[in-house]
Amino acid sequence: MEKKIAVYICTGCGIGEALDIDALSKVATGEYKAPICKQHGFLCGQEGVELIKNDIEAEGANTIVIAGCSSRVNYDVFSFGPDKIVERCNLREQVAWCHPAGDEDTQMLAEDYLRMTLAKLKNLNLPEPYQVENMSKTVLVVGGGFTGLTAALESAKAGYQTVLVEKEATLGGYVGKMYKQVPMKAPFTELEENGIPALIKAVEDAGVKVYTSATLEKTAGAPGMFDVTINQNGSTVEERVGAIVLATGAKPYDADKLGHLGYGKYENVITQAQFEEMAVAGKLEASKVAFIQCAGSRDKEHLPYCSAACCIESMKQALIVKEKNPEANVYIYFKDIRSNGQYEHFYKKAQQEGVIFIKGDVTEIAENDGTLTITADDHTMGTQSEADEFDLVVLANGMVPSAALGDVVEEPAQDEAAAAAEEPKAQAPTIIKANLLNLAYRQGPELPALKYGFPDSHYICFPYETRRTGIYAAGVVRAPMDMLYAQEDAVGAALKAIQCIEATAVGQAVHPRSGDMSFPEFNMTRCTQCKRCTEECPFGAINEDEKANPLPNPSRCRRCGTCMGACPERIISFKNYSVPMIGNMVKAIEVPEEADEKPRILVFACENDAIPALDMAGLNHLEYNPWVRIIPVRCLGSLNLVWINDAMAKGFDGVLLMGCKHGDDYQCHFMKGSELAEIRLSKISETLNRLGLESERVRATTVNIMDYDKIPAMLDEFAAELEELGPNPMKDFQ
Contact set for another protein, span 502-541 (CB under 8 A): 502-503, 510-512, 514-515
Give the closest residue to 254 by CA, choosing from 288, 302, 206, 314. Answer: 302
When binding is defined by CB under 8 A, the residue of 58, 186, 281, 413 that contacts another protein is: 186
Q: How far is the CB of 462 from another protein (least distance, A)?
A: 7
Find the part of the chain contacting another protein (CB under 8 A) among 231-239, 405-413, 430-438, 450-458.
450-458
**Could you tell me the sign of the dihedral formed by the alpha carbons of 290, 296, 297, 299, in that order?**
positive
Backbone angles phi, psi at 419, to 5 degrees: -60, -40
- Does 307 bind another protein (CB under 8 A)? Our answer is yes
How far is it, in rounded angstroms, from Cα 434 to Cα 167?
Answer: 13
Give the closest residue to 5 by CA, choosing from 122, 131, 111, 145. Answer: 122
- Does 467 bind another protein (CB under 8 A)? Our answer is no
Residue 1 class from Cβ within 10 Å (0-12 exposed, 13-18 middle, 19+ buried)?
Answer: exposed
Q: Among residues 600 and 634, whose Cβ is nearest to another protein?
A: 634
Residues 382-401 touching another protein, rule: CB under 8 A, are 382-388
How far is it, in rounded angstroms, from Cα 687 to Cα 691?
Answer: 6
- Does 454 bind another protein (CB under 8 A)? Our answer is yes
Q: Among residues 479 and 542, whose Cβ is nearest to another protein?
A: 479
Give the strand order in the sheet containing 471-473.
209-211, 162-165, 139-142, 243-246, 471-473
Q: Among residues 377 and 590, whose Cβ is nearest to another protein?
A: 377
Q: Which residue blocks in 250-298 are alpha helix, DSSP H?
A: 272-280
- Does 459 bind another protein (CB under 8 A)? Our answer is yes
- Does 715 bind another protein (CB under 8 A)? Our answer is no
Which parts of 161-306 are beta strand (E)?
162-165, 180-181, 192-193, 209-211, 214-220, 226-232, 235-241, 243-246, 250-252, 269-271, 288-292
- Does 305 bind another protein (CB under 8 A)? Our answer is yes
When binding is defined by CB under 8 A, the residue of 492, 568, 592, 712 that contacts another protein is: 492
4 CB neighbour count, 10 Å cutoff: 16
Binding mask 48-77 for another protein (x = CB under 8 A): ---------------------x--xx-xx-
- Does 452 bind another protein (CB under 8 A)? Our answer is yes
Binding mask 144-183 for another protein (x = CB under 8 A): ----------x--xxx------------------------
When binding is defined by CB under 8 A, the residue of 78, 331, 574, 643 that contacts another protein is: 331
Q: Among residues 122 and 157, whose Cβ is nearest to another protein?
A: 157
- Does 323 bind another protein (CB under 8 A)? Our answer is no
Give the closest residue to 639 by CA, choosing from 607, 663, 665, 661. Answer: 607
Q: How far is the CB of 218 from another protein (least distance, A)?
A: 28
Reduced to 3 states (helix: H, G, I; strand: E, B; else coil), residue 459 is: coil
Binding mask 4-43 for another protein (x = CB under 8 A): --------xxx--------------------------xx-
Q: Judge contact between 445 and 555, C-beta under 8 A.
A: no
- Does 316 bind another protein (CB under 8 A)? Our answer is no
Which residue type occupies 349?
Answer: K
Residues 605-644 touching another protein, rule: CB under 8 A, are 608-609, 612, 616, 619-620
Q: How far is the CB of 466 from another protein (least distance, A)?
A: 13
- Does 339 bind another protein (CB under 8 A)? Our answer is yes
Q: Among residues 160 and 718, whose Cβ is nearest to another protein?
A: 160
- Does 131 bind another protein (CB under 8 A)? Our answer is no
Q: How far is the CB of 606 from another protein (least distance, A)?
A: 11
Residues contacting another protein: total by CB under 8 A: 107
When binding is defined by CB under 8 A, the residue of 187, 197, 259, 370 that contacts another protein is: 187
Q: Which helix (H) or strand (E) covers residue 117, if one does?
A: helix 104-122
How far is it, in rounded angstroms, from Cα 504 to Cα 711?
Answer: 38
- Does 102 bind another protein (CB under 8 A)? Our answer is no
How far is it, in rounded angstroms, from Cα 520 to Cα 579?
Answer: 12
Residue 46 class from Cβ within 10 Å (0-12 exposed, 13-18 middle, 19+ buried)?
Answer: exposed
Binding mask 673-712 for another protein (x = CB under 8 A): -------------------------------xxx-xx---
When binding is defined by CB under 8 A, the residue of 165, 200, 319, 481 that contacts another protein is: 481
Enter the DSSP assignment of 461. Answer: S
- Does 485 bind another protein (CB under 8 A)? Our answer is yes
Quick one: angle between helices 344-352 and 310-324, nearest 10? 30
Give the closest residue to 692 by CA, choosing from 659, 660, 649, 721. Answer: 649
Q: How far is the CB of 336 from another protein (least distance, A)?
A: 4
- Does 354 bind another protein (CB under 8 A)? Our answer is yes
- Does 595 bind another protein (CB under 8 A)? Our answer is no
When binding is defined by CB under 8 A, the residue of 546, 665, 690, 724 that contacts another protein is: 665
Query: Over the range 657-684, which residues count as b (16 or more CB within 10 Å of their CB) and which as e?
Result: bbbbebeeebbbbbbbbbbbbbbbbeeb
